[in-house]
Every structure is written in structure tokens, then in C-alpha cells.
Structure 1
Amino acid sequence: MSIQPDLAGVAFAAHLASFGDRPAVHLGSDTVSYAQLAWRVQEMAASFGSARRLVALEADNTLSSLTVYLAALSSGHPLLILPSGGGPAVESLLAAYEPDLIARSVDGGTTLEERRSGSKHDLHPELALLLSTSGSTGSPKLVRISAASVQANAQAIAQYLHLRPADTAATTLPLSYCYGMSVVNSHLLVGASIALTDLSVVDPCFWELMRSRSVTSFAAVPYTFDLLERVGFETMELPSLRYITQAGGRLDPARVRRYAQLGQERGWDLFVMYGQTEATARMAYLPPDEAADNPNAIGVPIPGGSFRLEPVPGLDESELVYSGPNVMLGYAEQPSDLARGRDITELRTGDLARRGPGGLYQIVGRRSRFVKIVGLRVDLGRVEKILADYGVTAAVAGSDSGLVAAVEGKHELSILAKTVAQDLGIPRAALTLCSVDSIPRLVNGKTDYPAVLALASQEPQRNPELPSAKACDDPKTIFADVLERTDVKETDTFVSLGGDSLSYVAASVRLESALGYLPDGWHLMPVCELTPKEPEAKPAGLNKAGPNPQPGTAPQRRRLIARMETGIVLRAVAIIFIVSTHVGLFDWEGTAHVLIAVAGYNFARFQLSGPRRERLKRQLKAVARIALPSMAVIGVAFATTDDYGWHNIFLLNTLVGPQGWTDMSRFWFIEILVHILVGLAALLAIPALDRAQRRWPWLLPLSLAAIDLLQRFDVIELPYPGQGPVLWLFAFGWAAALSKTWWQRSAMTLVALLTIPGSFSSEPRSATVLVGFLILLWITTLPVPRGLHRITALLATSSMYIYVTHWLVYPLFAEASLGLAVAASLAGGIAYWAFATRAMGAAERWLGRRRPSRASTAEAVA
């Protein structure tokens, strides 16, 4: 086989302008045409200079990264693709290959670091891409891909997927991953468009993007399907969806069959695919009409490719060998290898396979010790070497679901696991370290890897009701402890487990302490993706000189100021202002209404995901957690004072109590919040409104606000206890949480400026509400002295309990000291929060034990 070099670069990247004004890239509400993209690419290519150089790109799903990628491909500069975010793996590759030009992503743009004007490397004319073959382990072994191979694989994929210019693909995978890269290549080849995003499928905004941009496909790895089940994908209305592709590891056959059948029912296809980096991306695909009947198969070779089966000595099965124009040139292990041409014409996959009826191939095992973790190919031998470099003797086994390491001797396993997972670029939860006295071995002295793999099932399971200090390092344990769940899985999210605004603060503070930072949208991320950004510390013995720590190292000084989520800070500040105003320490009205907006903000984040029935259960559970503790306190107030009536206990004063503001109106905030939550639960249980919420997530709360604002502008009039309508504020907060683009935030700002001023009894109160809402809308985090983080989190968590109890607490201390009355009210509410949450948790566990097994299962899902 002969592949002719194309010194002009990859054809599809060089000919983008031929598609003219057709849309190429969708970025939120903006669209970049092919002509505009081609101009950007030409400008970027010109900045590379005329001399052919080795370019390194830390690739992420942004227009700037895509521009650099296409510029290198189109102009013939070999491109070393690196994962975004830096870290040891990236620095190791940069040190090994010394690229001439480095492109890094910074604040949504790209910075170019020019190390030399020419190139210090001898670059083969066919070389186009350098890709890591084993994930982000920092291994210097790279795959050398030619321009002709990139073009050929894109053409083959476009052919069997029947891609057309009207198609739009959402970038559910990173550009640095060859699977994600192949989605971009094949669509730009035919003049189709890319919806460029890094949103997860568990984020409601991703599905808004799917509908607003009429996305026709998205790519998935096996764990993506776990996430799809969590968000109720089976019931979603996605009229534009044409197909889903799956690769990155073996998908369970039962799940292949189920999703193939679901696709047949809903009008889209499932393409199960097989590939390796060494073949640019794809080698085989399973025709959608074969998936339900042959879910174990990888299918047939892609157009232009072929398979053969080569017997393996000592094994009953044969190795799968692939030939095609997309096969790599060969490997590179050092810079001098970049001058090499083609070393191979066929690819030995390392997979054992057989050919079944209809010419469909099936993988039955692996010849080499590689596994795929969330789409990353990991060399188990490489993992053992990393551990050895840290002075640790270990044996590593694994499967596509995770790695298990038997570690000899005494080590701090939690820190060691974080460090190794970071070096590998895999989720921390995918790595299990087991302490052993000696490595399990066979009678012939070789490592007994099946015994190593079995160690994971022998690890003692911790009771989540008895948390240990070390357990706090584990996001899975944090969720189990905070939410009092015993069934937390790696694919669960905080929201899918029933997390709400009451438990969010405690979980976020502990998670930030465990990870060293708090990922954006962590409450929608699966447990397996919640990994440390940087290791906290290298454990004793992790320096490569031996088991002792290096002398002279000093602990890093902690910053005195750190940031906390805006919603948390607003809740803490608001409850202090509310209590202080009621006590008479000072007068500052309006913060309770800010909390109404914060409640809507949290409702959008915690109460809108999942299938309709499961979501309804979660919403009613959240209402119970607010209503029952409040009713208990109000019951005590009714029994001990003459200020309240029976309707207060049942949170009905707003509806049946005296008109105007009276002492009975003091609990208006709790009453109205419960009424809103119950009403929304009932409305969203209606299938038509549920579909509307999924299809127009941002417009639905604005529609509810518009209806409620009819009272604000006196179009209609309903009785309220002195506070006026507030559903519109709740809806504003709901819409604010879903306002992801600049124009959406700007629109919400305009709406707020038109409606909030003049809506309340005084201009200072209106100003407070307006400023509080705009802060919530525009500012994600606020600076807080680190020493105040714990008290801020505690006040935010217990704010509702402080509100409902302070009416009974502060009169006991007000005559002695107003400051003491405020402090006692805060302390009393915190104490009641601690008692009530434990009591509610115990009651829920007791009810769970009394339910039949089917009900328990349903509760676990909800």
C-alpha cells in the first residue's frame, strides 16, 4: 500500500472556504460560517510562519483551539495534541519533544509561545499529527499520523454515517481525544456544522443546546449511557436527533440492544464503533439495523479498511489485524523519530477476535495489558512504573471499569491514589489501591493478576453513617454522608441522589476541602468525574530518591482570602440582615426577597433533572424537608403564645389568614416558598408542561414570571399578606440559573431593571432586591476571608431554620442586649438545623426499612 504525502496539509482543513456562508461552528447564540472560520484559520496559519515547525496544542472545546488545530492541519505543520489544563503529563511531553511553538488556552483564547523561529526537528513530509497512545500518562510514546490518514478516516466516517451538510454534531468529547477529533473532522469534511460545547449530558443546558441548534448527533463513551439514564434521556423529545455514536470501550451488550431498540422507537440510529488511536480513530462500525440482534459485535470494517485474523501461539483465539489508509505511520518515542516515514502498513490491534455470521467481527479478549478508562487507553505496565518511581512496589490489574493495584508495605493510600490518578489523567474513583504484605504470585513466580483484580471485592465497605476522617477525601463518601445514602455509585450525581439546596452547602464545603477546588457545576457531575485538580501533597516516599521526604520543603502558605459560591454567601448575609432587622439592631429590608430569588436559582439546579416521576418524588421530598421542621416550630409557637392560629401550623395563613400584615404573617416566607414548590411540582407533573420545560428551559420560568407580574402591574389582584406577589422573583432566580450566555444575562438584567424598582414598599428595599439579584445573575463566586468560610457555610445551610426559629428566640434576649438576641437567634437556628436534619434523616431511613423492596428500589433511584 502506498500513501502519497500531501505537503499542503489535510485537504478538508485547507478547503473550508469552499462551503462559503454555510454555518460551521455554533457557539452558544453565535454562529461562525465556513468563510469566517477559513479566514480565522488562514490568519492563525500565517502566524506560524513559513518554516515548517512542530506545533503543540493544549486542545479544549473552544473556537480558538479549533482554529489552531485546523491551521496546523491546513498548512502542513505537524501538530502535537495535548490535553487542556497542563499538569505533569503535558509538561513531560513538552520536555521530551521540545515543540517549536506552543498554543495554550487562556480565558477562552489562545496564547502562542514561540520557542524558536525555525525548527530544531527533522520533520517527515507526511507527518500531520502526534497523538498519545495511552491517555494522559506522560509516556513519551506517541502515534505518528499522516495527513492522508486524517483525510481518509474522515471520509470513511462521513460515508458510513451518511453525513450531510444539514447535520450538526455536539462536541460531547474533548478535541484532544481522537474520538472527539474524528467527530470534528468528519463533519467539517462535508460542510456540516459543530455545536462547540463542553457541557456534560447531565447539564440541562446541554439539552437546551440540542434543541435550539437542532443537533443531529452526539458521541458517547460507555459511561455516557449511565449519565443518560440519570437525566431521563429515554423520555426526552429530541426531534432533530438522527443518530448516536458509541466508542471508547465496550458497551454492555444488553445496553446496546436496549438503546438500539429505543432508537428504532424514537427515530434515531445507534452506531456502535471500534477504533484505536493508531488507526487515526475508527476501524469498524456496527450497522444500526444489526445492533439489536448482534449487540456483542463491533461490526464490519469501515469503507477502505479490512480485517484479518492471525492465530496467536498458545491461545485458541486469533488477533485482529487491520489494514487501511488510516493506519498510522508508526510510533515515536523520541524527537528523532519525527523524521521517520511509514514503518507499518497494517495494525496489530492486540485484541482477540472472531468473525461471526454476516461477516460481523466480535472482540473476545485482549492480548496485551491495556484497558480503557472513560475512553482513555491505559497501559497497566506504565501504571506499575509510575508507582515504582514513587518508591512503591505494586502490581496492577484492571478492566474497562477501573484499575486495582496491590501495594506492598505501609503507605498513605488515599494521597497515593490521588497522585497516581492525577498522573494518569483518570478519575480518582477508577483507581483502587489495596495494601498487601506481598504481591500475589503464581507457583512459577509470576504475578497473579486475577488475584490482584479480586482484591477490590475484598476491600471492607465503610458504613456511611460512621464517617472516618480519611473518608472525607472521597467524593463518593461525602455524598453518602451528607445525603445519608448507602447506594452511591460512580455514575451518580449530587442531584440524581436527591441533593437539594439544604444539603448543597455542606457537600460543597467538604468537597472543596477534599479536591482543593470546587468544579463548576459539580452538583451535575458524576462522582467519577470529581477528581482533584492538583494532588494535595506527595506522600512520604513519593520522591524518586526513596521512601523519605525531601528535606528543606516548606508547606505552601494558604491564601487568607478565598472565594465561595455567590448563592451561599447571599444566604448567609441575608439571614443575618433578616434577624438583625426583626430584632431592631439595624434596619435593612429586602434580603428575604433576595432569598426568594436564591430559592428559584437553587430550584433550577437541583429539582429539574431526571424522569418526571422520579423528579416529582424528589420535589415532594424537598418540600417535606422545609415544611415539617417549620410546622413543628410553629406548633410550639402556637402552644406557647397567643400570636398564631391553626392555619399558621399548616402554612395556610397566606391563603385563609387575616388580610394585611399581622403577627400571623411572620412566617410568610416559609409559607409562600412551600406553596410555590408544591405548585410547581404539580404543574411539572403534567406531561405537556414537562415537555415544555425540557424544550424551552429558559423561557418557561420567564413565562411564569410574566403571569405573576400581572399582579405587580395591577392587571389582576389577589390577596397577599402585605408582601405582594413573589413567584416572579422565584422565577427570575430560576431563569438566572439557566442564563449561560451573555445575551441571556443581559436580557435578565433588562427585565430586572424594568420590574424590580417600584415593586416594594420602599426604594431601599427595591434597591436591595435588585442588587442582590444582579449579583446572583452575574457573579459566580465572592471573596470571603478563609477564616469565615465555615461560619458562612453554616449560616447558609441553616438559614431556613434560623428564619423559622428566631421569632421565638430573640424575645428572650432582646431586653438584655440586641446584639445578644441576634447571636442567640443564629445559634438557636443552627442548633435546630442540626437536630432537625438528623431527625428527618432517621425518619427517612426508618421509612425506607419499612417499605417493600420495590419501593426501596424506587427510592434509591429517586
Structure 2
Amino acid sequence: MTSNLFLTRASFAADLAHFGDRPAVLTEGSTLSYRELAGRVEAFAARLGTQRRLVALAAANDLDSLIAYLAALTAGHPLILVPGDKPAALDSIVAAYDPDVVLRSGGFPSFEERRPGTVHELHPELALLVSTSGSTGSPKLVRLSHENLQSNAEAIAGYLAIGPEDRAATTLPLSYCYGLSVINSHLLRGAGLVLTDLSVVDPCFWELFRAHGVSSFAAVPYTFELLERVGFAALDLPSLRYVTQAGGRLAPEQVRRYAALGSERGWDLFVMYGATEATARMAYLPPDLAASHPGTIGIAVPGGAFRIDPVPGLDDGELVYTGPNVMLGYAEVPADLALGRTVEELRTGDLARRHPNGLYEVVGRRSRFLKIVGLRVDLGQVERILDGLGVRALSTGTDERLVVAAEGGADVRLLGKVLAQQLGLPRAAVEVHGVDRLPRLSSGKPDYPAVLALAAASVGAVQEEPSAGDGPEDLRRIYAEHLECGAVRDEDTFVSLGGDSLSYVALSVRLEKVLGALPADWHLMRVGDLARPARKAYPARRFLAPLETSIVLRAVAIIFIISTHVGLFTWPGTAHVLMAVAGYNFARFQLAGERVARLRRQIRSLGRIVVPSVAFIAFAYLVTDRYSLANIALLNSLIGPRHVTAEWQFWFVEVLVYVLIFLLALLALPWVDRAERAAPFAFPLALTALGMLGRYDLPHISVPHTAPVLWLVGLGWLMARSRTTLQRAVVTVIAVLSVPGFFDDAAREATLLGGLLLLTWLPAIPLPRRLHRPVGVLASSSLYAYLTHWLVFPLLEPFSPALAVGASLAAGVVYWALTQRIVGAAGRVRARRAPGPRKAPVTETASTR
């Protein structure tokens, strides 16, 4: 339905081989030359085919995504870019535009060819389609041509004087026009790209920065806040040549400060102004003027020009930009892909003035847009989203927070979460207030200042409310106590601080007691965001509240395991449910950050299992004659007796450790790490398939007295990665087909299957709030109760099985609490002895990359 011809190619993508053996892409463990990159791009372009097709790419900051992007450009396939970490955004684009090919986080591992040809009419100039300023909640896309991309890359490379010796780190997402412009402009000049998704608060990022001699650093305003926290001013960065800033207005005092710092340390600060509709950049402030004119956006980029059109009733006019990088126009439906140029200039919507020296200054916005953490938020779209949910609302806010008034008795907490997800904003940046009636002026028009006042009133009310234990300092203390670290900062998250399944339960219960109901993704939220007083505006607590299914399963399983061993009642099968829970939690807590950061976290988590287990088993070895040195070394399953003895009592711990060591070793391989990132659902699916070999004893290798569990751990991992109904259905089918026959015990298999289905389909189970803490304590101490009960229950079983069960659980709680105190104290001692401030860990906020 479309021609194979298109008008131009962007040379920065098509002429890669021109730079020969110069380094093009540098990662933590490898370097790819321009010649090699060109070969991979050519191979992938061949896979896309010669007939032009519409391609959608869920892009990450990885090599596969870069290759797919460049291949689509060189082969002339119009490409829709969406963030790889927002599945809902891709689903929305696929539903709205029906692409012919869908690529998820990089190409080869997830090449979904939906049809051999195309059903679309594609204009010859169309090269790229992207959401405005990183917005992911709307199918409205910017249509960019090859000329747009090429001209803007040339302009940027020109005023930044990018040369072949330069190297840029991917501190911003490839799917964001600012991040993409860094890639385009550097490839144009044969410079190197240091591909990474590490956050700037991760020490590993700066190690990579220095190791590869990075010369340019791209930042949005929020990035500068993080730089303050990592002590950027004191970092030794001899290769740094310049810092660029865009993505929103940086406060003039910050511009002055960083311009002065750059002058002192030998690098330049380029303040820039742009929009997706202009492919990226429209203006830049020459570094020598940053200190004296910090409030301006500077001058137009080479090839571009500004004018200011009057706005009736206002002193300042609207800034209008013209240049070869101005988009072809917008697309809102597939038919728009056939359109050519529909705009000749870009009306920015910003109110501006021109200084006598020729510098432009933006003084306000004409239309109703906010820019929060570098993302442009259309307030009209916010109200349309809520209207689609049957909620009448008004929205306003600042460049720090979206404020919404919702009419009626809607669940404001749920609405806030929905808006954050659809708009791609941090949850803490969305504030929803319930009102009886929407505020309006006497004329009947919406009273937006009254909506904004709701935020101030909420904070004021909270500050007057006497409460203890809910301030930032208290939350940081709680995190430090539970995660055995000496200091916690506002930008830290549970995952970045090394939290795992053992510490997750106790901390979540403690936080819920302090803050009320927690968001489902609280373990990925910054401590500072959880501590915000606005959380007090949430509805009053109800009798029942949801508790995560994985937590409930852990508590129930340890009760059933001990009761079965004691003989209070018999209900086998729950130990293998816990194996699936282990895989589920491994995927949630152990897979964040770069490979080295992951490995460190996985080793720490493994140590939290091995150390208390070995310590207790050694104690049991000394006070009884039941166990051997093989038990202490956790090797009984491999070298212990082949017949059933007491030495087999710790099989669960041993096999769990074996599986975790296998996963740690597997993910330590760089190519495996890349495969897992590129295919987050397919990878555990393959791991489950590998585990099925043991499940069905295909190699005829088995460990006596234990059942193979890798497939269960893989299934748990797969459950954690299931984002859609189809994916959960796939997991269900695998479970239903593989569980029967596993034990040759129908009741035991029903227990295992029931646990798997609960974990797959029911994220939380409503429980009385009074039970949350005891259930959480039992779940947290489940490993310790499993260890200790072997010594406790034989002493009491002859008198009372129920007492034996209760005492075994209590002993586990005591051992858990004792271990927590010892490890916490050790962590604080290490922190006090460590030189200098604690190294800041990785945070997973996409906008800071």
C-alpha cells in the first residue's frame, strides 16, 4: 500500500561505516566499532525487509534498541518510539496505529512481525514518530522527517563542536527526544556513545564515565538535584568538556552556579531550549553568557530563527520558531501517516521577549501545559482521561506537581495512581483531591486557582496535625533499621538500598503502620516521595485492607509446614509454593540496575540466607548428634546419605541456595544479562523450559529426597514479569499442565497449583488490618522458623502439638529479630568506619537517566 521509495536518508544513520574502526558504542564490557555497528544495522535492516512498513519500538538504553532505531531509519521504515519500561504506552500505540512490526526493548529477542507487508499509506518523507516531550498517555504523535533529524543533528553538533574524540553517556532515555538528539549528533560526527541505563546517583555510572573518558553530560533540571546529592562539584572528571541542560527551565541561580563550577573545573554549561516538534533543539545559550544572562534561552540554533507574535491583552507575545527541523505535523490516527508537511513553523505556546542583545527569554506559557521532571503534561488530556473513567475533574499545578480536583466520591488514591501511570509521572508528583463540587468562578468558568489552593490547604492541615513517626527523618531511620545501612537519603529506594524478599515484608508492614496503605510499587519509590505530607490526605482506614499475596503465602506456608512436621494436621505442598514465591521475589528485587549492581545485590541477598542458616545449623551440629559437617556447608543434598535421615531436614534451604547461586552465575554473563533485559518475559519463560528438563527428569539426574524446583522458581519469575492477561494466561496454562503428576499426590498437587494461581492472578488478599503485622512478622521470619523448628518441636510435641507449633514459630521470630539486630549493628559499624559519605545507590526513575 505504500511505495518502497523515500526522499532522503539521515546520513548519521546511513553512513556509519564511513568512520571505520573508530569506537561507536561502548558499554561496561565491550566496544563496538562504527564498521561493526554498520554491519549489525545492515543485518537488522535486511530483516525488516525492503517494503516500507510501520515499525513500533519499545526502546531501552541498550545496543539492540540502538541498532533497531538506526536500521529502521536506514531502510526507510517509519518508526514509532515508545519507552521500553512502560508496557501500557506500547499497548496504547499498537491499539491506535496498528504497526506492521513491533520490537520490544531492542529487536532480535522480541521481533513481532504482525504482517508481511503493510496496511498503511506512508508518506515518503516520514521517518520517525514520537510523543511530545516524553508523554506516553496520548496517541498524538509528532511526525518527523529524515531532513528534520539530520538538520537538527547538524545544528547541535555545530554549536557544541562535537568531534570524533568526544564521547557521550546515555543519561536520558533513547525514546525521549533530548536523549535521541544526543545519539544522533554524536553519530553524525563519529563520536563514541557510552550506552548505559545507570542512574547518575549510582557510583557505577561515574566509574563508567571515567573509564571511557566521557566528554559530554546531558541533564534535565531534576538531574541537577541528584548531582547535588552525589557531590558532583567534587568529582574528578578530567574528560568532561561540557554539560547540556534542557527538558524544562533551570532556575537562574542554578545556571549561575553550574556555569561558575564549569568555569572553575574546565567545562562549559550549555542551557538549551527545545521541543519534540522541533526534533529536539531550537535555542541554546552560549556558555560565556550563562553567568550574566541565566534566565534566557539564548539564540536560535544554526539554521533556525525566532519571531514573537503579539498576543491580544498581553504585554509579551508568543514565541514562533522556523527552521528545517520543524516537524511535518502531528499524527492522531493512522490515516495521518500519509500526510506530508502540514506546518511550516512552530508556535511554541510560550510567551517570550527579546532582549536588546538578541537573547530570548521565555516568561510564561500561553496554553495549559505543565512540565514536570522533563515531561510535558497536557492538562486538558488529564481531564479527558478522568472523564473517560466517569469522573468530572479540573486539573492544574506547577512544574513540580499536578493537582487535580475530582468531583464526587471517587477513590482519589486510585485516580492518582492511574494518572501517574498513564502520564509517565512519578506517583508523588500527582495529587488528587476529592470535592463535593468543582470550584467555579461567578461566570461559571473553572476556578483553577481554587484547585491549586487545595494543595496548599492539604499541606497546611497536615502540618498542624500532631503526629509522630511519619516525617522524612523517621522514614529514613525505619529504612536504615530494616535494611542494615548506615544512612538513607531521600532519593534512595527499597531496591536501590539492597532490599530483598527477607526485608521486604517487615519493612512494608512497618511503613503501612506509619503511612497507611502503601502503593503497589512502593519498593521502587523514593523514600522522599513516600515521606511527603500529602499522603495524609488519603481516605480513612477501613477494617479490611489488602496484603500482598506473596506475604500471605509465606506466612501460611510456614504454619502448614511446621504443623505437618509436628503432626498437628497434615497439609503438604506449601514448601514448593515457597519456591515459586522465591522466584517471584527474585524478579521483583534482584533485577534492578546494571549488571554489576545486580550482582552485588544478589550476593548480599544470598548472604542473608546462607549466613543465618549456616550459623544455626552449626549450633544444631554442636548440641545434637543429628547433623553432619555437610549440613553446615549446605552440601548434604549433594554428598549426604542417600537414605532418609535427619540430615535431610534442611533440604529446602540447600536447594534454594543452589538455585540462587545458579541464577547469580547465569546473570553474571554479560550476554545473558543483556538477554534478560531485552526479553523480560521471554527470558524466565526460557528458564522455566530449562527447569522442565528436571521436572520431567529428562537428563535422568536427580537429587535424592528432593523434587526439582528450578521450573517453580522460573514460574515465579514469570509471574512477576506478567503484565497482561495473555501473559498471565500463559503462566496459568504452564502451571495447569506441569503440576499434575509432580508428586503423584492429588492433594499436594492441588495445594501447589492453588498457590501458583493465587500468585498469578491475585496480587493482594484482603485481611483485617489487625492481622497485617502478625502475618508480616510470620512471613519475615519464615526462613528462620523453618531452621529452628527442627530443634524446638521435638521437645514439646509429646505434651501438646499445638504448643509445639506455636513455640516453633515463636523461636523463628526470636531468631529473626536477633539476626536483624546483629546485622543492623554491623551495618552501622561499617557505615561509621567507611571513609567519606556513603555512596549513593541507583534509583530507577527514568527521567533521571
* 8 Å contact kept, 2:42–2:71: yes
Residue 299 of structure 2 is matched in structure 1 by 300
Partner SS, residue 182 of structure 2: helix
* 8 Å contact kept, 1:464–1:477: no
Residue 581 of structure 1 is matched in structure 2 by 618
Give 1:140 deviation, angstroms: 2.3
What is the distance in 2 between the residues matched to 1:312 and 1:211? 49
* 8 Å contact kept, 2:152–2:281: yes
Give 1:577 deviation, angstroms: 4.0
Partner SS, residue 403 of structure 2: strand
Give 1:401 deviation, angstroms: 0.9
Deviation digits for residues 134-191 of structure 1 (CA, Å, limit 9, x no counterpart): 6444322211111101000000000111101011111111111100100000000000
* 8 Å contact kept, 1:483–1:503: no
Deviation digits for residues 479-507 of structure 1 (CA, Å, limit 9, x no counterpart): 5754599x999745569999999977744
Partner SS, residue 397 of structure 1: strand
For residues 502 and 76 of structure 1, do their structure 2 counterparts lie closer, same or farther at Cα, with a shift above 3 Å needed? Answer: closer
Partner SS, residue 461 of structure 1: helix
* 8 Å contact kept, 2:127–2:145: yes
Deviation digits for residues 614-658 of structure 1 (CA, Å, limit 9, x no counterpart): xxxxxxxxxxxxxxxxxxxxxxxxxxxxxxxxxxxxxxxxxxxxx
For residues 834 and 568 of structure 1, do their structure 2 counterparts lie closer, same or farther at Cα, with a shift above 3 Å needed? Answer: closer
Partner SS, residue 410 of structure 1: coil
Which has the bigger relative contact order, CA under 8 A and spacing at least 6?
2
Partner SS, residue 385 of structure 2: helix
* 8 Å contact kept, 1:506–1:797: no
Write the letter of the residue equivalent to 2:9.
Answer: G
Residue 316 of structure 1 is matched in structure 2 by 315
Unaligned runs of 5+ in 1: 532-538, 540-556, 595-732, 746-774, 804-808, 841-857
* 8 Å contact kept, 2:506–2:777: no
For residues 491 and 438 of structure 1, do their structure 2 counterparts lie closer, same or farther at Cα, with a shift above 3 Å needed? Answer: farther
* 8 Å contact kept, 2:133–2:177: no
For residues 837 and 75 of structure 1, do their structure 2 counterparts lie closer, same or farther at Cα, with a shift above 3 Å needed? Answer: closer
Residue 412 of structure 2 is matched in structure 1 by 413
Deviation digits for residues 677-726 of structure 1 (CA, Å, limit 9, x no counterpart): xxxxxxxxxxxxxxxxxxxxxxxxxxxxxxxxxxxxxxxxxxxxxxxxxx
Residue 142 of structure 1 is matched in structure 2 by 141
* 8 Å contact kept, 1:429–1:490: no
Give 1:215 deviation, angstroms: 1.0
What is the distance in 1 between the residues matched to 2:49 and 2:820? 64
Give 1:347 deviation, angstroms: 0.6
Residues 275-674 of structure 1 aligned to structure 2 (within 5 Å): 275-459=274-458, 460-461=461-462, 482=479, 491=491, 506-507=506-507, 514=518, 516=520, 522=524, 561-562=580-581, 563-565=584-586, 566=602, 567-568=604-605, 570-572=607-609, 574-583=611-620, 584-585=623-624, 587=627
Partner SS, residue 350 of structure 2: strand
Residues 96-175 of structure 1 aligned to structure 2 (within 5 Å): 96-105=96-105, 109-133=108-132, 135-175=134-174
* 8 Å contact kept, 1:259–1:270: yes
What is the distance in 1 between the residues matched to 2:43 and 2:824? 61
* 8 Å contact kept, 1:478–1:510: no
Residues 147-296 of structure 1 aligned to structure 2 (within 5 Å): 147-296=146-295
For residues 421 and 588 of structure 1, do their structure 2 counterparts lie closer, same or farther at Cα, with a shift above 3 Å needed? Answer: farther
Residue 828 of structure 1 is matched in structure 2 by 814
Range with bigger deviation, 561-570 or 288-297: 561-570
* 8 Å contact kept, 2:370–2:378: yes
For residues 134 and 742 of structure 1, do their structure 2 counterparts lie closer, same or farther at Cα, with a shift above 3 Å needed? Answer: closer
Residue 22 of structure 1 is matched in structure 2 by 22
Give 1:314 deviation, angstroms: 1.3
Deviation digits for residues 705-752 of structure 1 (CA, Å, limit 9, x no counterpart): xxxxxxxxxxxxxxxxxxxxxxxxxxxx9xx99x9764999xxxxxxx
For residues 832 and 29 of structure 1, do their structure 2 counterparts lie closer, same or farther at Cα, with a shift above 3 Å needed? Answer: closer
What is the distance in 2 between the residues matched to 1:266 and 1:791? 52
Partner SS, residue 82 of structure 1: strand
What is the distance in 2 between the residues matched to 1:54 and 1:129? 10
Residue 675 of structure 1 is matched in structure 2 by none
TM-score, normalization by structure 1: 0.64
Write the letter of the residue equivalent to 2:52.
Answer: R
Write the letter of the residue equivalent to 1:268.
Answer: W
Give 1:88 deviation, angstroms: 3.1
What is the distance in 2 between the residues matched to 1:388 and 1:136? 19
What is the distance in 1 between the residues matched to 2:97 and 2:285? 38
What is the distance in 2 between the residues matched to 1:480 and 1:456? 27
Deviation digits for residues 527-560 of structure 1 (CA, Å, limit 9, x no counterpart): 56999xxxxxxx9xxxxxxxxxxxxxxxxx9987
For residues 493 and 290 of structure 1, do their structure 2 counterparts lie closer, same or farther at Cα, with a shift above 3 Å needed? Answer: farther
What is the distance in 2 between the residues matched to 1:124 and 1:264? 47
Residue 47 of structure 1 is matched in structure 2 by 47
What is the distance in 1 between the residues matched to 2:208 and 2:466? 38
What is the distance in 2 between the residues matched to 1:328 and 1:123? 16
Range with bigger deviation, 788-797 or 329-338: 788-797
* 8 Å contact kept, 1:54–1:121: yes
For residues 56 and 831 of structure 1, do their structure 2 counterparts lie closer, same or farther at Cα, with a shift above 3 Å needed? Answer: closer
What is the distance in 2 between the residues matched to 1:119 and 1:243? 44
Write the letter of the residue equivalent to 1:461.
Answer: V
Give 1:90 deviation, angstroms: 2.2
What is the distance in 2 between the residues matched to 1:590 and 1:252? 63
Partner SS, residue 105 of structure 2: strand
Write the letter of the residue equivalent to 1:36.
Answer: E
For residues 119 and 495 of structure 1, do their structure 2 counterparts lie closer, same or farther at Cα, with a shift above 3 Å needed? Answer: closer
Aligned counterpart for 2:780 among listed residues 794, 801, 813 = 794
Residue 11 of structure 1 is matched in structure 2 by 11
Residue 710 of structure 1 is matched in structure 2 by none
Range with bigger deviation, 180-189 or 208-217: 208-217
Deviation digits for residues 733-785 of structure 1 (CA, Å, limit 9, x no counterpart): 9xx99x9764999xxxxxxxxxxxxxxxxxxxxxxxxxxxxx9xxx9x99998
What is the distance in 1 between the residues matched to 2:456 and 2:239? 44
Partner SS, residue 112 of structure 2: strand
What is the distance in 1 between the residues matched to 2:182 and 2:244? 10
What is the distance in 2 between the residues matched to 1:792 and 1:193? 52
Write the letter of the residue equivalent to 1:574.
Answer: V
What is the distance in 1 between the residues matched to 2:166 and 2:392? 51
Write the letter of the residue equivalent to 2:414.
Answer: I
What is the distance in 2 between the residues matched to 1:192 and 1:464? 57
What is the distance in 2 between the residues matched to 1:435 and 1:837? 44
* 8 Å contact kept, 1:219–1:245: yes
TM-score, normalization by structure 2: 0.65
Residue 66 of structure 1 is matched in structure 2 by 66
Partner SS, residue 353 of structure 2: strand
Identical-residue share of aligned pairs (%): 54
Partner SS, residue 358 of structure 1: coil
For residues 588 and 109 of structure 1, do their structure 2 counterparts lie closer, same or farther at Cα, with a shift above 3 Å needed? Answer: farther
Write the letter of the residue equivalent to 1:406.
Answer: A
What is the distance in 1 between the residues matched to 2:144 and 2:671? 41
